[in-house]
A and B are shown apart, each in its own frame.
Chain A
């Protein structure tokens, strides 16, 4: 009987280190996306970053309001996390999820999350130096269509990659009431 606690400890340690979860479920992914959205609303970079796998990549296509053609970029987790840190400086930010669809792969190792979002945030013009967070003339309303692959890393659910296409609309600062949050 005295050996039992050690075997129990070993088993617990094995589960903890090896990552006992091997499959993702729809509910797990839905809760994970809720958590990620909440982290984005808080603009808390460490949490936003933590929810991305170490080899996370973002492909973004961005249609600016007055641009003739969209900008495209591919960035890695490291740069994504730095951008999340910059986002923390925003004082007015709204994120609304309009739709979500979760498709768990047949092997249950990953899920494809397709979601539509609307973000409202200040638009800092590229050539204008903002001395304070309030130094902007327009809010930008960004409609995004995201397709993310979610999977397990070390037993935790993480975003493995995201492809997003965004459409920007600019609205004069005075025409919109966005609370400070």
Chain B
């Protein structure tokens, strides 16, 4: 067995290094989170008929911006923060433009809990939900299963022409 001690030690070290590198990747929310229906900001939290992932894909999560997911509480898989940021050239010089959305799972829905943003961008939840819904409404994205049935309704769904 002793001749195997060297290679075994090397294997453990290489494996450990690989795990360290892998763990260093940015975290992302599980599909079980992003596939849930996004709720509106009204008092009843009416469903929007679109999964969070559908809304984000339809928005191209704001084009060429940098996107970073993070879990404010590593032990809580039901709360995720998405920061979308870019540098935009303005006449007074480069400006850091960002929005940070905090999404929280509530039952079988995802609620937009808070929005932080750089100057000039809205931080009200209702205004952000409306903005986020423009793209899936415009491109007639696929709604969640419950909204594919005849007569199904949701917040501003079906979208008006």
Residues in A lying within 8 Å of B, measured CB to CB: 6-7, 9-10, 13-14, 17, 54, 60, 62-64, 66-71, 73-75, 78-79, 82-83, 124-126, 166, 168
Given contacts A82-B66, A124-B89, contact A75 B96 (CB under 8 A): yes
Determine the chain A residues whose CB is within 8 A of the CB of B6 once the complex forms.
6-7, 9-10
Give me 17 A-to-B residue pairs in the complex whose CB atoms sit less than 8 angstroms apart, sorted by A's number. Answer: A7-B6, A10-B9, A13-B14, A54-B24, A64-B92, A70-B92, A71-B90, A71-B93, A71-B94, A73-B94, A73-B95, A75-B85, A79-B87, A82-B87, A125-B91, A126-B88, A166-B93
B10 at the interface (CB under 8 A from A): yes
Determine the chain A residues whose CB is within 8 A of the CB of B89 once the complex forms.
124, 126
Docked-complex contact A74 and B10, CB < 8 angstroms: no
Docked-complex contact A79 and B94, CB < 8 angstroms: no
B46 at the interface (CB under 8 A from A): no
Additional A-B contacts beyond A67-B92, A75-B96 (4; CB < 8 A): A7-B6, A62-B92, A79-B96, A124-B89
Bin chain B's interface residue count: 20 to 34
Given contacts A17-B17, A79-B87, contact A70 B10 (CB under 8 A): no
Docked-complex contact A69 and B94, CB < 8 angstroms: no
Judged by DSSP, the binding face of A is mixed
Q: How far is the CA of A107 from the CA of B6 in the complex (A)?
A: 35
Most chain A CB atoms below 10 A, which of B5, B10, B94, B95? B94
Closest to A66 in B: B91
B13 at the interface (CB under 8 A from A): yes
B68 at the interface (CB under 8 A from A): yes
Closest to A12 in B: B10
Most chain B CB atoms below 10 A, which of A14, A69, A75? A75
Determine the chain B residues whose CB is within 8 A of the CB of A74 once the complex forms.
96
B86 at the interface (CB under 8 A from A): yes
Closest to A69 in B: B92
A91, chain B: closest CB distance, angstroms: 17
Docked-complex contact A78 and B92, CB < 8 angstroms: no
Q: How far is the CA of A70 from the CA of B10 in the complex (A)?
A: 54
Determine the chain B residues whose CB is within 8 A of the CB of A63 once the complex forms.
93
Q: How far is the CA of A28 from the CA of B89 in the complex (A)?
A: 35
Q: How far is the CA of A10 from the CA of B11 in the complex (A)?
A: 11
B120, chain A: closest CB distance, angstroms: 13
Most chain A CB atoms below 10 A, which of B5, B64, B86, B92? B92
Determine the chain A residues whose CB is within 8 A of the CB of B66 once the complex forms.
78-79, 82
Q: How far is the CA of A83 from the CA of B87 in the complex (A)?
A: 8
- Contact code string B95-114 (vs A, CB < 8 Å = 1, else 0): 11000000000000000000
Docked-complex contact B13 and A17, CB < 8 angstroms: yes
Which residues of chain B from 1 to 21 have any CB-CB distance to chain A below 8 Å in the complex? 5-6, 9-10, 13-14, 17
Determine the chain B residues whose CB is within 8 A of the CB of A168 once the complex forms.
93
- Name the 10 nearest CB pairs between A and B, nearest first: A62-B93, A71-B93, A6-B6, A67-B92, A73-B96, A64-B93, A71-B92, A126-B89, A79-B66, A64-B92
